[in-house]
Amino acid sequence: MMDEPWWEGRVASDVHCTLREKELKLPTFRAHSPLLKSRRFFVDILTLLSSHCQLCPAARHLAVYLLDHFMDRYNVSTSKQLYTVAVSCLLLASKFEDREDHVPKLEQINSTRILSSQNFTLTKKELLSTELLLLEAFSWNLCLPTPAHFLDYYLLASVSQKDHHCHTWPTTCPRKTKECLKEYAHYFLEVTLQDHVFYKFQPSVVAAACVGASRICLQLSPYWTRDLQRISSYSLEHLSTCIEILLVPVFR
């Protein structure tokens, strides 16, 4: 992996453009799986496992993406098969997106309360064969942009010296405001995993909407700055529908 995150490097703009091109080629999510009602349960499992193994957001989001789109295309008949597919998605995503020492070990997975409570013990052979099945299903291409791949780039422009709180006074400490906004944005990023409705939007739209929703929660004015529009190429109008969905749990 690179020593510095791509969004802080000299070619950040080029990487962003490449990701934007790649997201246009992502397949449509049809929500056809008969197991869709179980989706949230397995997303929670992936979230807990990734947190337990300290995986980065990009690995977690890629794992959920792989699980959703595999379920959307193929029939998975038993609970153990679905557990095996979910864990294999996490393993593949962590190998692709995270550091080698963060990739979950088989003993680590089997010892978690989540699997032991279901009386499941996954074997190395089962996981390797499922990983191969997943790779073939995705044509060996795991370079699949998710909102997590865009968020940190947009956060670079998330706070400005010209921002105002509550439309009346300027922020006194942009650094603290930026830290707080980053926490909000990552909270909204995790919210997007809970509902497949967010597949209606391009991943970059969802990431930008996470920043916009965070600025609204912090009552920063304007809600969407020229710098954010420049870096993302989105206006507030582009993001309004996605932002509204994100804010439903906040203002319910």
Q: What is the pLDDT along the chain (252 residues), one digit of tens a residue?
A: 456 788 888 899 999 999 999 999 999 999 988 888 889 989 998 998 899 889 999 999 999 999 999 999 998 877 788 889 999 999 999 999 988 888 988 888 877 766 666 667 788 999 999 999 999 999 999 999 999 999 999 999 998 877 777 644 455 677 888 899 999 999 999 999 999 999 999 999 999 999 999 999 999 989 999 999 999 999 999 999 999 999 987 766
- State how far the Cα of 241 lies from the Cα of 165, in Å rounded to an integer: 23
pTM of the model: 0.91
Give the C-alpha distances (Å, rounded to integers) separating 139 from 132, 135, 136, 142, 221: 10, 6, 5, 8, 45
Residue 220: φ, ψ to 5°: -90, 135
Residue pointed to by tokens 């379920």: 71
DSSP secondary-structure letter at 164? E
Cβ proximity of 196 and 29 under 8 Å? yes
Could you tell me which residues come within 8 angstroms of residue 89 by beta carbon, excluding any fewer than 6 positions away? 46, 63, 64, 66, 67, 70, 134
